[in-house]
Structure formats: structure tokens, C-alpha cells
Amino acid sequence: MYAQLVKSEGMKSAAELSPQERAFQDRIDRGEKIEPKEWMPEGYRKTLIRQIGQHAHSEIVGQLPEGNWITRAPTLERKAILLAKVQDEAGHGLYLYCAAETLGVSRDQLLAKLHDGSMKYSSIFNYPTLNWADIGAVGWLVDGAAIMNQVQLQKTSYGPYSRAMIRICKEESFHQRQGYDIMMKMAQGTAEQKAMAQDALDRFWYPALMMFGPSDKDSVHSTQSMAWKIKINTNDELRQKFVDQTVPQAEYLGLKIPDPNLKWNEEKKGYDFSEPDWSEFFEVIAGNGPCNKERLGARVKAWEDGAWFRDGLLAHAEKAQARRAAARVAAE
Amino acid sequence: MASAGIAVDRAALFEFLTRMGDNTLILGHRVSEWCGHAPVLEEDIALANTALDLIGQTQLWLGLAGEVEGKGRNADALAFLRDAAAFRNCLLVERPNGDFGQTLTRQFLFDAWHHVMLTALTRSADPRIAEIAAKAVKEAAYHLERSSDLVIRLGDGTDESHKRMQRALDDIWSYVGELFIADDTDRAMVEAGIAPDPASLRLEWDAIVSEVLREATLKAPTSAYVHKGGRRGVHTEHLGYILADMQFLQRAYPGATW
């Protein structure tokens, strides 16, 4: 669930669709996959670029809060697992930028938009990781929420995105397990470790619920995205599913979800729960979260500091090509 | 617990194994500091991968060191509960990351030594060491291939990349020589057929490095001065900070399991 508030194009009624648009919608309705070279409405292409791009950016910014604890991981095994996980995330970023490239936008173009603030990444990565249990909570809750969304997106209508999701989901479920495993150790550990685990849950619970985005029952954007099968479930459906899955896991850990209104509702066969503070969500999206400046600043600095490196590789490639060409001429 | 059939001083063997394991631990730590900050996404992935290999090798070397010592310390106890003076890594690996050119140059000079050393250790008279080396040498071969390739491309890239790579080489060069100086521990290893004489690795290292530098249009510094001390526990100021970071949780919450 690394794409929030993705703007879609306005929904057209069936009567307003051109014959070409009608045929496209029919293909989607039949469950066919759309492939890169095929015709697609401009709105479909643009919405996908926004959604896949935001998802890719989330993967690479997402390296930072976890990377924050790699050098302080408490055992060699935990360090190795965390390194492997963060490496996977960079890899997910790579597949997703490749999927976006099939829609005619380069990775550099998308990064330029991330760096100038015109494209976003998931709000969750603007929260700090303050103790070791946060690394557990990120795996358990953040990756758990991400999986909720990504499992559905395996069925998304755009072929390259769907295939990227299938690969990513396999790795994400390992991530979630390792996060829960850290939480188990902490929750069953010393009083201090248990306190860290509870503190992590207290701080990450509502930001995790926010990952699904505000209620979209009235959103025109969501309706169009769902018609195009770029989005499969509503934000509220996914949030409910996440809460229902997570509450028993917290109980098993002996941790308390920080919501006095949390209660099983027999009628709907799900939990009733408090909404997160949406004003906080919009502040974070607007750049006022606890870590927005550090996160984006770190990415911009990495990009700017790395310019000489990228230029150097490019210059070498050009020289090597010129040398090969000269050798060919000399041989002829 | 000396290994079967090999007469070797246990303390010397422990010393040798911590040198191998501390090199990979401290370099792995340094490389992992790049996580999320690399100049391109492919480098984020490659650096995390390198760090992961090095931490994996650390688990093997320090695990064996703990067994050999026979005092009930495992790899984690050795990594997280020794102070700086007990660390046996060379000074090279604790050098700060600097810019990407400094990190890459440190990696390349280390990889060239590491690959030659591990290749020799695959023939160790101690089968446990030969086994670890056989696994690690495959990873080191890949690290060397990657770092050599990048040194060549950046050395022979733009004026700016060339200048940065030459400066990195000039800064780091004097920290390499330590790897080739033998002491009593090394002599005991040579005598037992466990490890090669460090000085014997120099020729091959020189050949690898000079070929790459030639292609990279970089010049090996002529200064023969060698900074040393790491392999006997006398480190630079940097190691204390690395350990303060790395050991924080184990030190702050003694006895907890993670």
C-alpha cells in the first residue's frame, strides 16, 4: 500500500466513451491484461504512471527508516536479515521503475519529480524508527498493510505492473514474517524489551491505518481506477481487512492496540475501530511529518552527491564505444 | 580444541580467525552505512549485497573463532562484547566511507587482498578453514570483479571522476601494507600449514592492482609508508565510534535475547 491519494482521471459514463475506449473497457471487464505496446486511454496511462511511480518512490525512500538500524542491529543474524530486506526493497524499486518505463516515462524523469516534491511517496516513511522494536513494527504493520494492497494488485489490469506485484508479494511475505518474529522476541523478552514493543505499536498503529488512504467511498478518482482495475478494493475494505488480521496477532503478542474503541462486531464479523487523525495525515502529505525533510533531503543529497559517479560511468561508456568504433575502422 | 591432526597454538589460531572475521565485520559495517544513500539504485542493491556477504562471512569466521577459543563465546559475543583493543581488523577497513570514490577504492584494495588470501586458504591444512574459504572466495571473486570494473570506469571517466579516484587512492594507499606484514601469529599459521605467509600474497596483489590501475589511468602512489597496528589491536579513532554504534543494544540491555 505504497500509493495514496493517486489522482485518476474523471470517470466517463458508458455513453460518453468512444468506440475505442469502449473496446478497451470491454477487454478490462473480460479480465484481459493490457500490455505496453497496446492502445490505452491517455488517462489510464497517466494514472498508472502516478501510481507505479509513487509506489517505486516509496520502496526507495522506505530503505531509510530501516537503514537507520542496520548498523545497530543487535545480532549478526538480525543485521543480515535486515540487510537482505532493505536490499529487496531497492530491488522492488527497480522492478517498479522498469514497469513505469514501459509507459513511456524514464526513471530519471520520475526521480526528478520525487526530488522537486511534485511526486509523493507513502506517508508512513515520514515517521521515525526510534527503537529496535520499530524495525519489527515496520515489518509486521507496514509490510503487512502493503501486502494487503499488493496481493490484490497482482490482478491489476496492466501486465507489467501485475507481474512486478507477483514477484514483490513473494518477498513481502518474508518481510512481514521477519518483522513479526522481532516483535515476538521483544514481547517475550525483558520488561524493557516489552516496553519497546508496546511503544512501537503505539506509534505505528495509526500511521499504518493511514497507509490505506482516506475513505474513498465518494471519490471519483477511485471509481475510475476501479473500473480500469488499477485499483481492486476500496481503501476502507483493505483497512478493515488489515485491522481484522492484525488484532489477533497483537493479542498473541500480549500487546495492546492503542484504540479504546476497538471492539469485535459480531454483525459485520469484523472489528469496529477508531479512524486515524486525518488532519495529521494531510499534514504529513503536505510535508510536515516528523521526518519529511530528512527523508527527501537524504534522497536529494544521494542524487546530487552521486552526479560525478553517474557522469563518470557515462563518459567511460562513450569512450569505450568510440574506441570500439575506431578499432573497427582500423580493421576494415 | 585445535583441529584434528594439526599441532597449532590455540591462542594463535583464535587470533588468526578474529583477524579474518573482524575484517569482514568492520568492512561490512562500513558498507552497510551506505544503505539508501548510494548514487544510483543499482549501487544501493550492490552495496547491500556486498555488506550481506561480508556479515555472512563474519558469522563463519567468528563462529569458528569462538569454538577454537573454547570459552563459550559465540560469533555474537565476539562481535558485540569485545572492546576496540580486542579487535584484530586491519586499519584499512575502518577508514570512513568518504565519497563513493573513497568507499570504492577501499573496497577494491581490500577485495584484491581478500581474493588472493581466500584462494590460498582453500588449501588450508585445517578443513574447517578451507571450507569457509571455499564459500567466501566465490563471493570475494564477485566483489573484486565489480570493484575492479568500477575503478576502471571511474578512473577513465570524466576529469572529475578521475581526480576523485586518484585522490582516494593517494589517501588510502598507506593503509594497505599492513595486510602483508607477518608476525608471530602468521608464522605459527604458516608452520601448521593453516594459512599463507602474508608477504607471499604481495606479488599477486600487485599484479591485480597494477593491471586495474593501468586500465583506469590511475597512478599507484610511490610513498612506501605503512600505517599499521590494527592486527594487534591498536586502531584509529574511528573504530571506537563504529563499536559504539554496533554494540549499543547489547551493551545497553545486557543479557537480553533479540
The pLDDT assigned to B6 comes to: 62
How many beta-carbon pairs below 8 A join chains A and B?
149
Mean pLDDT of chain A: 94
Share of chain A above pLDDT 90, in %: 87
Beta-carbon contacts of residue A149 (< 8 Å; ≥ 6 apart) = A1, A2, A3, A212, A233, A238
Locate cell 542496520: which residue? A70
The pLDDT assigned to B112 comes to: 98
**Residues A227/A25, Cβ–Cβ less than 8 Å:** yes
**Does B8-252 carry CATH code 1.20.1260.10?**
yes
* Inter-chain touch A305–B39, beta carbons under 8 Å: yes
Alpha-carbon distance A20 to nearest alpha carbon in chain B (angstroms):
38
Per-residue pLDDT tens over the stretch A273-286: 999 999 999 999 99
**Residues of chain B positioned with their CB less than 8 A from the CB of A315:** 157-158, 161
Share of chain B above pLDDT 90, in %: 96
Alpha-carbon distance A172 to nearest alpha carbon in chain B (angstroms):
17
A263 φ, ψ to 5°?
-155, 140
Q: What confidence tier does A220 reach under pLDDT thresholds 50, 70, 90?
A: low
**Residues forming a β-bridge with A265:** A270
The Cα–Cα gap between A181 and A139 comes to 9
The set of long-range contacts for B193-199, using a CB threshold of 8 Å and a minimum separation of 24, is B193/B6, B193/B124, B193/B125, B194/B6, B194/B8, B194/B13, B194/B16, B194/B124, B194/B125, B194/B126, B194/B129, B195/B16, B195/B120, B195/B121, B195/B124, B195/B129, B196/B117, B196/B120, B196/B121
Q: In 3-state terms, what secondary structure has residue B111?
A: helix
Choose the closest CB to A132 out of B29, B44, B249: B249
**Residues of chain A positioned with their CB less than 8 A from the CB of B35:** 63, 67, 70, 83, 86
HSE-up of residue B227 (Cα within 13 Å, Cβ side): 16
Choose the closest CB to A76 out of B59, B153, B161: B59
**Residues of chain B positioned with their CB less than 8 A from the CB of A67:** 35-37
Residue B16 has pLDDT above 50, yes or no: yes
In the CATH scheme, what is the code of domain A19-287?
1.20.1260.10
Residue A258 has pLDDT above 80, yes or no: yes
The pLDDT assigned to B1 comes to: 44
**Residues of chain A positioned with their CB less than 8 A from the CB of B99:** 305
Per-residue pLDDT tens over the stretch A109-160: 999 999 999 999 999 999 999 999 999 999 999 999 999 989 999 999 999 9
**Residues of chain B positioned with their CB less than 8 A from the CB of A73:** 249
Output DSSP code: residue B115: H
Choose the closest CB to A313 out of B33, B153, B162: B153
Per-residue pLDDT tens over the stretch B25-61: 999 999 999 999 999 999 999 999 999 999 999 999 9
Per-residue pLDDT tens over the stretch A64-96: 999 999 999 999 999 999 999 999 999 999 999
Q: pTM for the complete prediction?
A: 0.95
DSSP assignment string, A95-157: HHHHHHHTTT--HHHHHHHHHTTSS---GGGGS---SHHHHHHIIIIIHHHHHHHHHHHTT-S
* Inter-chain touch B36–A72, beta carbons under 8 Å: no
* Inter-chain touch B52–A87, beta carbons under 8 Å: yes
Polymer length in residues for chain B: 258
Residue B154 has pLDDT above 80, yes or no: yes
Residue B249 has pLDDT above 80, yes or no: yes
The pLDDT assigned to B231 comes to: 94
Q: Where are the domains of chain B?
A: 8-252
Per-residue pLDDT tens over the stretch A180-219: 999 999 999 999 999 999 999 999 999 999 999 998 776 7
The pLDDT assigned to A218 comes to: 64
* Inter-chain touch A302–B51, beta carbons under 8 Å: no
Per-residue pLDDT tens over the stretch A285-330: 999 999 999 999 999 999 999 999 999 999 999 999 999 999 999 8
